[in-house]
Amino acid sequence: MKRTAILASALALGAGGALAQQAIELDEITVTANRVATPTAATGTSVAVLGEAELADAAGSELTDVLRRLPGVSVTQNGPPGSGATVRIRGADSRYIAVYIDGIRVGDPSLTETRFDFGGLTGADIGRVELLRGSQSALYGGSAVGGVIAITTKRAETEGLSQHARLEAGSYGTVAGSYGFTRGGAEGEVALTLSHVRTDGFSSADENAGNTEADGFRATRLSFSARHRLSDAVTVGGAAFFQSGRSEYDGFDATFALVDQDNVFHRDDWGARAFAEIAAGRTTHELGLSLYDSTRRFDQEGDISDFEGQRLTLSWQATTEVSTALSLVYGADWTEEQARYSNLPAGEEASRIAGAFAQALWAPRGDLDISASLRLDDTSNFGSFVSGRLAAAWRPDETLTLRAAIARGFRAPSIDERFGDYPGAFPFVGNPDLTPEESLSYELGVEKRFAGGAQVSATLFALEIDNLITYVFGAPATLENLPGVSTRRGLELAAEVPLGFATADLAYTYTDARRPSGAQIDLVPLHQVDVGLSADLSDRLSGRIGIRHVAGVVEFGTPHPAYTVADLRVDYALTDAVDLSLRVENLFDEEYQEVRGYGTSDRAVYVGLGASF
C-alpha cells in the first residue's frame, strides 16, 4: 500500500518519528522490524503498523480493543476496564513480548513474570503502534520471544501548533477526556497529552454467578516528548510518561470460587528517556538512557501489600551505510532490574544483563532484501546466551511479497519466579534453581496486492520453547522447568477488499499450542476470526461494524464455550475540526467469558466529541 509518510533524516527506535524534513511517496515504514526505518515490504518478518486512523477506536477505551483485531493476536482480561489484561502473539503471552512506550521498556520486574499489564492503557495519547511477530531476541534481547510491541505517543505531523481534545461518556457511568498539543518546526518538535478516565465498571466476578457489586476504575495519564536539532549533525530529545490508576477487583473464597470482595488496586507507572542522535559521515549514532518504575499496592479487605519494580537501561546504537545495497546496524546496551517487596526473603533483589548485537541489511537485487542478526547477552545470574535471526523478503513483482524468517531466543527466569515467597491461603514459593527457557521460531508468508486495492496475506508460523517454566501446584505451589519442547504452530490469514464506498477486512488465526505432553496450553484460542466492514456513507458520515469469533479455548483442561461478539462505531464530522462518535460494544449483548469466572461487558454505548484545532 502506498501512502504519504513522514520521515526524519535519522529515524531511530524510540525517538518517536520526527517531524518531516520532506513528504515523499513511499511504502509503509516500520522502525521496529530492523531497528531502523525500513519499508514493510522489505522486511522478512511479519509486522503490523497502526496509525491514528486505525487507533481511533481506542481513543476512549483500552488499546487492547484494537490490538485484538490483528492476525496472530489474542487478548484476555480479568474483568472490567483497568483489570489485568494479557496480550498474546501467536499463542505466546505477555511474558514473551517486549513492550516499549517511546523507546522505554515497560515490563514490570516485580511481577511473577516480567511483563507489561495492558489493563487500563487507553489510546488517548497514542499516535502509532508497531507490532512485530515472532522471536526478536537477536535485536531486543531476552523476553522478546513472541514479539515486540512498540508504542509511540502523538507527534507533530505539521509545522506550527496543533491541539486536540476529546470527551466521551457512556455506559457504566464512564467518562473519559483528554487534551493535548503538538508543535513542530524546522528545528524540532514537542508534544504533550493529558488524559483521564473514570468508570463505575461492572463486577469482576461474573454476575451470572450471583456477583453484582460493580468494580470501578479511574486513571490519569500524562505523556510528553520533545526533540531538538542542535546542528546538522546532532539532535537531542526525550520522552516521559506518568500514569496513576485505581481499580477495584474481586477475589477467591476458600473453595477457589471467584466472588465479590472489596479489594482495591493502586498502580503508578512512570518512565523517562533521553537520547542524542549524532551523524558522522556514513554512520549515525544514537545514545539513550531510560528509566522505568512501577509501584503497585493491593488492599485486600484491609490486608496491604506493596510492590515496586524498576529498570535502568543504557544503550548505544549505530547505523552505517556501507553501500547502497548494504547497511550495518549494531550496538550495545546494559540493563539493571530491581524489585522491592516484602515477599522477597531479602526484601530486595536485582538482576543485570549486558548485550551487544550486530545486523546486516543486504539488498543484493532490487527485489530481494536479506537481514542477518546476531546478539550476545551476558546475565548476572545465568551466564551468556547467543541469539540470532535470519530473514528475507522477495518481491517477484510489485504486487507480490514472499517472506521467510528463522530466529533463536531465550527468556531468563524473573526475580519473583526465583525468590518469591507467599504464605497464606494459597501459598507459593519460587524456585532459585530455574534455568532460562530457550526458543526457536519460524515463519513463511506471502502477501498479494490486486488491482483495485484488494490485498491478502497468509503466514505459517511456529514457536518452540524448551525448558518451559511452569507451575507445579501443591502446598505450596512452585515453579519448575518442564522437560521437552512446548510448541505453538499455526496459520494467519488477512485480507482487505474495497467494495465501492465500503471496505471489508478479515483477520483469521489458527493456533495449535501444546505442552510437551500434548496437552493444549491454556487460554490460547484454536480459532479466532475478526471480520469488519467499514463504510464512508457520506462526505461526513462513516462507520465500522466488527465481529469477533473465538473458539477452541481451554483452561485447566476444560473447554470454554465459543463466543461471538460484535462492536459498532459511527463517526460524523460536524465541521472540518469537530467530530461526533458513537461506539457500541457487545452490540448483541452476548454472554461470554475470556477467563473463567470473570465478567465481561454487556451491551455498552459511548458517545464522544473530538476536536482538532
Cα–chain center distance at 86: 10
- In order of 97, 228, 378, 466, the CA distances from 385 in angstroms are 18, 37, 7, 14
Q: How confident is the model at residue 2 (pLDDT cuts 50, 70, 90)?
A: very low
HSE (CB half, 13 Å, CA atoms) of 70?
25
The pLDDT-based confidence of 610 (bands split at 50, 70, 90) is very high
pLDDT more than 70, % of the chain: 96
Determine the Cα–Cα distance for residues 6 and 22; give it in Å rounded to an integer. Answer: 7
d(CA 63, CA 608): 17
> In the structure, what pLDDT confidence band is assigned to residue 24 with cuts at 50, 70 and 90?
very low
- N- to C-terminal Cα separation, the chain: 29
Dist CA 510 CA 479 (whole Å): 29
For residues 214 and 601, give the distance between their C-alpha atoms in angstroms, rounded to a whole number.
11
What is the rounded average pLDDT for all residues in the chain?
A: 93
Closest CA relative to residue 18, chosen from 228, 288, 160, 290: 228
Evaluated on CA atoms 33, 39, 44, 48, the torsion sign reads positive
Query: Residue 299 in contact with residue 264, Cβ under 8 Å?
Result: yes
Between 333 and 60, whose confidence is greater? 333
Pick the CATH number of 2-612 from 2.40.170.20, 3.90.226.10, 1.25.40.10, 3.40.50.300: 2.40.170.20
The residue-averaged pLDDT of 184-190 equals 95
- The model's pLDDT over 51-102, given as tens digits with 9 standing for 90+, comes to 988 888 777 789 999 999 999 999 999 999 999 999 999 999 999 999 999 9
Beta carbons of 566 and 549 less than 8 angstroms apart: no
Single-letter code of the amino acid located at 380:
S
Please determine, for residue 10, whether its predicted confidence score (pLDDT) is greater than 50: no
Q: Write down the pLDDT at residue 157.
A: 87
Name the pLDDT band for 7 (thresholds 50, 70, 90): very low
Gap between the Cα atoms of 240 and 291, Å rounded: 9
Mean pLDDT over 475-487 rounds to: 95
- Find the angle CA(250)-CA(74)-CA(549) to the nearest 5 degrees: 95
% of the chain with per-residue pLDDT over 90 = 88
Alpha helices in 146-247 (DSSP H): none
Min mean pLDDT across 16-25, 182-191, 196-205, 541-550 is at 16-25
pLDDT higher than 50, residue 105: yes
Rounded CA-CA distance 287/376 in Å is 19
Q: Report pTM.
A: 0.94
pLDDT band at 317 (very low <50, low <70, confident <90, very high): very high
Question: For residue 62, what is the DSSP state?
Answer: B
Q: How far apart are CA 548 and CA 565, in angstroms?
A: 5
CA angle 385, 386, 389 (to 5 degrees): 140
pLDDT at 306: 97
pLDDT given for residue 54 in this prediction: 87
Q: How confident is the model at residue 207 (pLDDT cuts 50, 70, 90)?
A: confident
Return the pLDDT at 85. 96
- Check whether 499 has a pLDDT greater than 80: yes
483: pLDDT strictly greater than 80:
yes
Over residues 272-285, the pLDDT tens digits come to: 999 999 999 999 99
> What SS3 class is residue 95?
helix
Mean pLDDT over 520-536 rounds to 97
Half-sphere exposure in the Cβ direction for 15 (13 Å, CA) = 32
